[in-house]
Each structure stands twice: as structure tokens, then as C-alpha cells.
Amino acid sequence: MITREPTPVTGPLSALAHAFGEIGRAGILAFQSVLLLPVTLFRWRSRRELVSQMYQAGIKSLPIISVVALFTGMILALQVGLELRRYNQEIYIGSAVMVSLLREMGPFMTGIVLTACVGSSMAAQLGTMTVNEEIAALEMMAINPVRFLMAPRMGAMLFMTPLLSFYTCVLGVIGGGVVGFTQLSVPWRQYIKTAVDFADTRDLYVGLLKALVFAVIITTVACYEGFTTTRGAVGVGQATRRSVISSLLLILMTGYIITRMFYDL
């Protein structure tokens, strides 16, 4: 099992090398879990755990994601519509809301919600198992913790995150349409027409790619922090906090990088 090395205190270069070492060990963990996904699909117990994790990551997150998606679309429509109204172009708010949600805000808001709801839960659960030596007990029984614990979580997140991201986009567009119709006097037909006409399939593909990358980031960071937890209950709290902070920062950075790769200025 991957263990965390003590944090160096000798200088910035040592701290940088330590950070790269942490990234490398987390990357190995992610690679192993992806390789073990076929085993998860073909073993009955693993499939049962996969379905359970899909329920935890997807169904249980629907209420908060629905609220976030609806109000994200409403805020986008209101802010963009008020600005477009200055130029008598408020009929085009549908295109702005649709493109913004597909490219960026849909997967980004989904990633934030899943980091808070699912990633923190993963880190806390696995961290508790680590400090209680349950992970060591699995290894003593010749059970690979990555296959038994992380691979089902990775598979569930890879499956549910793109679906939730698309759901966020749809609900956000509906919320934007409500604001456009009630506050900006934009007809529903015109709103939907501009939203569909200006959206491109590439926007959808880029958004789904971001959702997949965010799923890998959230699961990897949460499981790595959980597997490397030390110092009892205090360590579990610290691991959960590190998991949320690291996931949010990585989601922000990778979201920008992917957008820059697919859209030239």
C-alpha cells in the first residue's frame, strides 16, 4: 500500500520534490484503479459495491446538484441578460447560458458538489478504515485494497459524473429560460432556438471530457488521502480537509488547461 512520506522542512526545493512525489504516488494509485476496473465489472461482489457507490455518488447528490444547477442557470441568465439589455440583444441570452454551461459551468459546478459531498466522504471513510487498521487487515487476507475499495469508487464516479454534468447543463438552461421569460421578456421559443443554434457538439464533448477528468481527480485525491491517513481521528479530519482543498484546486487548474487546449484565442 502507498504510504505518505514525512514532509521535508529543509527548504523550498525539498518541499517541491516532496510535492512531486505525492503527485506521483497518487498517479500510480489512479493508474492501478483504472486497470482494475474490468475486475470490478466481472466479480459479483465488486459489481454490488460499484452499484452502491453509483447510488452514493449519483442519486444521493441529485438534490443539491439540482438546486445548484437551477440557480447557476438563473444567475447566468440574469447577469448576462442585464448586460445584453443595454444593447437590446437580450434575446441571445439562451446562447450565452447554453455555451457557458456546456463548456465550463456544468462540469465545474458538478465537480464542486461532488468534491464536497462524495470526495470528502470517501476520504473520511477510507481514512477511518486506515487508522483502525482495517486496510492492513485486508492486506493480511491477501485482498488488494485498491481493487476492493478504490476501483468501484473510480468506476462509479467515471460513470455518474458525466451524467450529472449533463443533467446540470439541462437544468441550468431551464433555469435561465425561466429568468429570461419572467424578467427579461424573452419568449421561450426564441430562448431555446438561440440556445440550440449557437451550441456546438464540441462544447458538449469538451464538457463531458472535463467531467471525466474531474471524476478521476476527485476519486484519486480522496482515496490517496484516505489510504495515507495517520494520527487517528485528528488525521482523518486533516485528510478530509486536504482532499477537498486539493480537489478544488486541481479542478480549477485542469478546467482551464482543457479549455485552453480546445479553444484558441
**Cell (9 digits) for 231:** 494520527
Q: Does 185 have pLDDT greater than 90?
A: no
User: Is 163 domain-assigned?
Assistant: yes
State residue 82's pLDDT score: 86
The predicted model gives 226-251 an average pLDDT of 90
User: Is 2 domain-assigned?
Assistant: no
**Of 2-6, 40-44, 98-102, 153-157, which gets the smallest average pLDDT?**
2-6
User: Is 4 domain-assigned?
Assistant: no
Number of structural domains the chain divides into: 1
* Full-model pTM: 0.90
Residue pLDDT, tens place only, 2-57: 666 555 556 677 767 767 778 888 888 889 888 988 888 887 777 888 899 999 88
3-state secondary structure 123-159: HHHHHHHHHCCHHHHHHHCCCCHHHHHHHHHHHHHHH
User: Is 204 domain-assigned?
Assistant: yes
User: Is 6 domain-assigned?
Assistant: no
**Cell (9 digits) for 221:** 485525491
End-to-end CA distance of the chain: 44
State residue 9's pLDDT score: 53
User: Is 70 domain-assigned?
Assistant: yes
**What residues make up the domain containing 248?**
12-262
**Cell (9 digits) for 150:** 478504490
User: Is 242 domain-assigned?
Assistant: yes
User: Is 192 domain-assigned?
Assistant: yes
Collect all residues with Cβ–Cβ distance below 8 Å to 157 and sequence separation of at least 6. 53, 57, 114, 118, 215, 216, 218, 219
State residue 3's pLDDT score: 61
Residues in the chain: 265
